[in-house]
Amino acid sequence: MLAEATIDGTTRAEQIAENANNSLGDLRNAQMGVFQITAQNGGEDYSWGGTFNTSAMYKTASVTVRLEFGVD
């Protein structure tokens, strides 16, 4: 899941750099946020410290990844 989030973040950063007529430089910093595990299609609120649903059979997991790149 983290690898997919990193690939997605890199793709988005490349597109932003391209739209600004630049190219993406080296990755300078990467940070992972908290995991949010909520009931699938549920109305649970996200929490600053993370959420971990233990009662629902089907769950949705999400995590925020922050990537900082240089610009060439």
Q: What DSSP line would sit under 47-65, residue for residue?
A: -TT-EE--S-SSEEEEEEE
Q: Which domain holds residue 43?
A: 2-71
Quote the number of domains for the chain.
Answer: 1
Q: What is the pLDDT of residue 49?
A: 66
Q: What tens digit of pLDDT does each residue of 10-54 get?
A: 999 999 999 999 999 999 999 988 888 888 877 777 676 677 777
Instruction: State yes or no: pLDDT of 71 exceeds 70.
Output: yes
